């Protein structure tokens, strides 16, 4: 089963993402910030990481940068979860090594569709 | 998938958003306008950003719209485009209030003030100098029979986690895709780098989809490929000449196999690499979890039962032969220790730092000092001190009152302070600390102090009884009398002097005590002592007949054995006892609760002097048994409300002991005396 790491400092958002993905049959681990996520990602290899951009301790861009540096995550889809739909933000994400992004607000259907596209 | 009900996440969203607003407010208050600290700005931004994101996702469009403005303003500050001004801070603080009101409204509370929202929204827009949102150019959906797509990924496309295969598969979903792979760039196997993409594709997509949909598929890889999207002129056949067979197995990544045109959609086969060993499942721990208080209360209750059972065992074991039962007794003492540790640990889950209430004061002090035209600084000490959530919730109002009193009555304005040779800025200090099983909270100011003469004059004016030759402590106690107020004018800050008596009552309802110390010209300090938790009570156990009652220790003034002649009977049959020139009503508990006792006369028993709300009674009991901590059980929940009893507990021998409601007892006698 594909195991996904959902990273967001907002509990409700994390719960929603986690619940939605679990309902779609994925196995989900959660982290509240980039640092915690990196720690988890070092312990096991996730099939996909979905990370918020703005977080305390370590933001999403730094997380993506750090993950891309790990051998296990060289080709892993790393998606940014962001409210900023401006091209600059997406550019920053891409430059950091993100695979793509998902623009908030999104509904559960969009989330699952995106993840399925990437993990099918 | 469409059946996911987002409302299940609303609770968490509201909770964390309100917390976020609190954090935002606190950060705004400590923001140094001249040199804004980047981390503080970031924190403020993140709060607004999270609320906006959540509100959008969970369908609270009004909140999302409003916080979007906030976020935009904050983004400018964060990126250095805008210097944050005092006016901005004010605007942001008011926005915090409005957002809070909107969230409460969305959470089923009172409807938010629509005008206030609109007004502040307009102010924010003005601050942002926003032009009416430009209509985004809408891509003209050109209808075509289909698209011819040329997709040349850059060689390092895999490094972004993007897989050309995924993109091709997606195109296939849009319509009928005829995919041809160009493997000309593929080197000999020996020279091929496994992480490099050498392939490119041409796709003929037939179907009813617009160019935007096709471009969306490539959105993530725009910069990692060369892309050409041309409308297919017609449904006419184009030869399959540019389709070349793929070089089988040359690249680690599975290739889509081009298929000849047919009625069927081309099938793309995914070859799983067979890696990804199943990993041990780990929980994604996020550091903390939210648990409903009722769950914790149930846990506390169960642990309370366990403590009682344990005490019972201990008592039974006391009769056993220590030599013969050595192992059993050892086990019991271990159980005793573990039970106590468990109880402490469970109690700790209900504990919150007192900061939960302290944090509301910076804002209040800021707003009120502006209103009152005073310069006031707020200092908090020991805000990490923990106490029971229930106590925290109920201490907030009394503390608010005390702080307001200090702001309004205690502290002088700058002119008066300078005249008195003091720092023009007054200080209010909130201090919390643990002392034994209690928490001590102080509200101290360095203001003018209480004025003995004014208090006495006011008491006389209000007809409040004053003891003869009162010492200072007696005088200070007067301000706790109902209806007392020394403010020369009733202000809208501290109201009509309904305060201090209510404060005292609230503190006593929490089994706490309140004290005042003051020095003229130097300030006043109000000290509140509270038990750490409401679930446990320090009690004195007393015997009446065959029953044991628990008297809350904080109500006990003293105990004495009355001498003959100390007790007198009044005309109505009521009895009083004279204790040091004070006549106190006598409350024989055996009569009140109709219990048979061998010692009905006061002289044969013990009198326990109890105090509540400034009044005293002498409760007559047969014997003082001891002092102990008891776990409070609700009598109402388990039986029904009983007059004069506030709750029950279970003793070590398994018997139920009732806890005396001293406040009610005292009130009953006060009414009888007044009648």
Interface predicted TM-score of the whole assembly (ipTM), two decimals: 0.82
Is the pLDDT at B658 greater than 90? The verdict is: yes
Q: What is the pLDDT of residue A84?
A: 62
Q: Which residue of A has its CA nearest to B2?
A: A109
Of A73-82, B288-297, B470-479, B568-577, where does the model show the most confidence?
Answer: A73-82
B498 lies in a domain? yes
Task: Give the 3-state DSSP-derived string for B183-212, with helices as H, strands as E and coil as C.
Answer: CCCCCCHHHCCCCCCCCEEEEEEECCCCHH
Torsion angle defined by CA atoms of residues B342, B345, B351 and B355, in that order, rounded to the nearest 10 degrees? 160
Q: Are residues B317 and B403 in the same domain?
A: no
Q: Report if residue B71 sits inside a domain.
A: yes
DSSP state of B81: S
Kindly report the number of other CB atoms within 10 A of residue B615's CB atom: 16
B258-264 long-range contacts (CB < 8 A, ≥24 apart) are B258/B178, B258/B179, B258/B180, B258/B181, B259/B178, B261/B178, B261/B237
Alpha helices in B223-375 (DSSP H): 293-317, 326-349, 355-358, 361-372
In CATH, what number is assigned to the domain containing residue B177? 3.30.70
Which of the listed residues B128, B163, B184 is the one where a domain comes to its end? B128
pLDDT score for B287: 62
Band (pLDDT 50/70/90 cuts) for residue B3 is: low
Whether the pLDDT of residue B240 is over 80: the answer is: no
In this structure, the answer to whether residues B376 and B324 fall within a common structural domain is: no
Q: What's the whole-number mean pLDDT along residues B197-217?
A: 83
Count how many domains chain B has: 5
Lowest mean pLDDT among B190-204, B227-241, B473-487, B526-540: B227-241
CA distance B377 to B430: 11
Chain A nearest-CA distance from B345, in A, is 25
Residue B264 lies in a domain: no
**Are both B547 and B512 inside the same structural domain?**
no
Question: Within this chain, do residues B70 and B195 fall inside the same structural domain, yes or no?
Answer: no
Q: What is the pLDDT of residue B269?
A: 41
Residue B656 lies in a domain: yes
**B514 domain residue, yes or no:** yes
Which of A48-57, B118-127, B262-271, B297-306 is least confident?
B262-271
Token representation of residue B384 = 């990490």
pLDDT at B478 over 70: yes
State yes or no: pLDDT of B467 exceeds 80: no
Q: Could you tell me the domains of chain A?
A: 3-119 (3.40.50.2300)
Check whether residue B89 and residue B35 sit in a common domain: yes
Q: DSSP class of residue B449? A: -
Q: Would you tell me how many other CB atoms lie within 10 Å of the CB of residue B203?
A: 25
Is B54 close to A23, i.e. CB distance below 8 A? Answer: no
Interchain contact, A105 vs B56, CB within 8 Å? yes
Same structural domain for residues B415 and B526? yes
Token output for B144:
């075509």
> pLDDT tens across B503-534, in order?
888 888 887 888 888 888 889 999 998 877 67
In this structure, is residue B310 part of a structural domain? yes
* Per-residue pLDDT at A46 exceeds 90: yes
Q: Does B216 touch chain A (CB under 8 A)?
A: no
Do B514 and B562 lie in one domain? The reply is no
B433 and B560 together in one domain: no
Same domain assignment for residues B25 and B110: yes
Q: C-alpha angle A63/A66/A72, rounded to 5°?
A: 110
- How far apart CA B409 and CA B490 sit, in angstroms, is 11
> Last residue of a domain, which of B480, B515, B531?
B531
Contacts of A60 in chain B (CB under 8 A): none
Q: List Cβ neighbours of A99 (8 Å cut-off, separation of 6 or more).
A: A77, A78, A79, A118, B160, B161, B162, B220
Least confident of B482-491, B523-532, B628-637, B639-648: B482-491
What was the pLDDT predicted at B444?
Answer: 93
Contacts of B17 in chain A (CB under 8 A): 12
The residue among B531, B560, B594 that closes a domain is B531
B160 vs A contacts (CB less than 8 Å): 94, 97-99
- Residue B257 belongs to a domain: no
Listed in sequence order, the residues at least 6 apart from B51 whose beta carbon sits closer than 8 Å to its beta carbon are B17, B20, B21, B63, B67, B99, B103
The answer to whether residue B316 scores a pLDDT higher than 50 is yes
pLDDT at B16 over 50: yes
The answer to whether B209 touches B175, Cβ cutoff 8 Å, is: yes
Instruction: Give the per-residue pLDDT at B87.
Output: 82
Q: Is B53 on the interface with A (CB under 8 A)?
A: yes
Residue B675 confidence (pLDDT): 60
Question: Is residue B589 in a domain?
Answer: yes
- Position with higher pLDDT, A58 vs B283: A58
Chain A hits for B9, Cβ within 8 Å: 12, 15-16, 19
pLDDT at B374 over 60: yes
Task: List pLDDT tens digits, range B419-450.
Answer: 988 888 999 999 998 876 678 899 999 998 88
Q: Do B412 and B485 have their domain in common? A: yes
- pLDDT, residue B427, reads 93
B317 & B367 share domain: no
- The H-or-E segment that residue B147 falls in is strand B146-153
- Number of Cα atoms under 13 Å in the Cβ half of residue B442: 19
User: Is B155's Cβ below 8 Å from some Cβ in A?
Assistant: no
Contact between residue B589 and residue B548 where contact means Cβ atoms under 8 Å apart = no
Of chain B residues 268-327, which have a CB less than 8 A from chain A? 270, 276, 279-287, 290
For residue B34, pLDDT over 80 is answered with: no
CB-CB neighbors (< 8 A) of A109 in chain B:
1-2
Task: Find how far residue B117's CA is from the centre of its chain.
Answer: 25
Burial B352-376 (b: 16+ CB within 10 A, else e): bbbbbbbbbbbbebbebbeeeebbb
For residue A81, the model assigns a pLDDT of 84
pLDDT at residue B363 in the model: 86
Query: Are residue B525 and residue B572 in the same domain, yes or no?
Result: no
* Torsion of Cα atoms, B623 then B626 then B627 then B632, to 10°: -70
Which domain, by its residues, includes B387? Answer: 353-531
Question: Residue A57 — φ and ψ, nearest 5°?
Answer: 65, -65
Residue whose pair of structure tokens reads 């997406």 in the numeric block: A90
Give me the mean pLDDT over the B658-666 stretch: 87
């Amino acid at each position: 089963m594909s195991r996904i790491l959902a990273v967001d400092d907002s509990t409700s958002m994390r719960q929603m993402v986690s619940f939605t993905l679990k309902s779609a049959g994925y196995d989900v681990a959660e982290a509240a910030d980039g640092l915690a996520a990196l720690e988890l990602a070092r312990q096991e290899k996730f099939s996909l990481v979905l990370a918020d951009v703005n977080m305390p301790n370590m933001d999403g861009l730094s997380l993506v940068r750090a993950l891309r540096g790990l051998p296990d995550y060289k080709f892993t889809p790393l998606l940014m979860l962001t409210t900023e739909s401006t091209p600059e933000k997406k550019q920053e994400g891409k430059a950091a090594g993100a695979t793509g992004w998902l623009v908030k607000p999104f509904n559960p259907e969009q989330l699952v569709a995106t993840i399925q596209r990437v993990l099918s | 998938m469409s059946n996911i009900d987002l409302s299940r996440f609303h609770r968490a969203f509201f909770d964390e958003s309100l917390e976020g607003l609190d954090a935002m407010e606190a950060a705004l208050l400590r923001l140094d306008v001249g040199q804004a600290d980047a981390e503080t700005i970031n924190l403020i931004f993140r709060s607004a950003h999270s609320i906006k994101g959540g509100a959008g996702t969970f369908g609270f469009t009004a909140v999302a719209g409003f916080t979007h403005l906030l976020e935009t303003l904050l983004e400018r500050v964060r990126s250095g485009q805008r210097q944050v001004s005092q006016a901005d801070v004010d605007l942001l603080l008011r926005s915090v209030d409005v957002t809070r009101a909107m969230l409460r409204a969305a959470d089923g509370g009172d409807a938010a003030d629509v005008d206030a929202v609109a007004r502040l929204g307009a102010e924010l827009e003005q601050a942002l100098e926003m032009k009416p949102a430009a209509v985004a150019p809408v891509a003209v959906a050109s209808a075509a029979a289909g698209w011819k797509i040329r997709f040349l990924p850059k060689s390092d496309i895999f490094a972004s986690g993007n897989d050309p295969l995924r993109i091709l598969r997606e195109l296939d979903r849009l319509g009928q895709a005829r995919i041809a792979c160009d493997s000309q760039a593929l080197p000999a196997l020996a020279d091929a780098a496994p992480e490099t993409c050498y392939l490119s594709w041409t796709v003929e997509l037939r179907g009813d989809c617009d160019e935007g949909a096709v471009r969306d598929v490539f959105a993530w890889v725009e910069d990692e490929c060369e892309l050409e999207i041309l409308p297919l002129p017609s449904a006419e056949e184009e030869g399959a000449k540019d389709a070349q067979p793929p070089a089988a197995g040359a690249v680690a990544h599975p290739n889509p196999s081009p298929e000849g045109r047919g009625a069927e959609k081309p099938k793309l086969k995914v070859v799983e690499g067979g890696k990804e060993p199943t990993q041990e499942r780990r929980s994604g721990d996020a550091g903390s979890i939210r648990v409903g208080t009722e769950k914790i209360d149930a846990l506390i209750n169960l642990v309370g039962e366990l403590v009682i059972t344990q005490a019972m065992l201990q008592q039974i074991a006391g009769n056993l032969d220590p030599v013969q039962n050595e192992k059993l007794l050892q086990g019991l003492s271990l159980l005793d220790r573990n039970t106590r540790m468990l109880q402490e640990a469970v109690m700790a889950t209900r504990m919150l730092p007192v900061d939960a209430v302290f944090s509301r004061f910076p804002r209040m002090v800021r707003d009120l000092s502006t209103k009152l035209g005073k310069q006031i600084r707020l200092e908090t000490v020991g805000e990490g001190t923990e106490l029971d959530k229930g106590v925290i919730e109920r201490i907030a109002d009394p503390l608010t009152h005390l702080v307001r009193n200090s702001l309004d009555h205690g502290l002088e304005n700058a002119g008066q302070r300078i005249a008195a040779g003091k720092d023009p800025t007054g200080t209010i200090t909130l201090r919390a600390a643990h002392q034994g099983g209690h928490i001590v909270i102080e509200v101290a100011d360095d203001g003018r102090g209480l004025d003995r003469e004014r208090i006495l004059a006011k008491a006389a004016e209000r007809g409040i009884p004053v003891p003869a030759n009162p010492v200072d402590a007696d005088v200070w106690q007067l301000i706790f009398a109902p209806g007392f107020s020394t403010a020369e004018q009733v202000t809208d800050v501290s109201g009509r002097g309904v305060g201090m008596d209510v404060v005292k009552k609230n503190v006593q309802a929490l089994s706490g005590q309140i004290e005042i110390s003051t020095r003229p010209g130097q300030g006043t300090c109000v000290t509140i002592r509270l038990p750490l938790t409401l679930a446990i009570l320090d009690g004195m156990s007393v015997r009446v007949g065959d029953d044991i009652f628990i008297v809350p220790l904080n109500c006990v003034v003293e105990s004495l054995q009355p001498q003959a002649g100390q007790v007198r009977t009044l005309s109505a049959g009521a009895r009083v006892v004279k204790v040091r020139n004070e006549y106190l009503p006598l409350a024989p508990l055996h009569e009140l609760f109709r219990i048979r006792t061998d010692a009905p006369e006061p002289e044969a028993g013990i009198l326990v002097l109890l105090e509540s709300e400034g009044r005293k009674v002498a409760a007559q009991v047969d014997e003082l048994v001891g002092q102990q901590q008891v776990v409070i059980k609700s009598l109402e929940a388990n039986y029904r409300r009983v007059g004069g009893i506030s709750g029950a507990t279970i003793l070590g021998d398994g018997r139920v002991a009732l806890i005396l409601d001293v406040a009610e007892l005292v009130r009953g006698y006060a009414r009888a005396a007044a009648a």
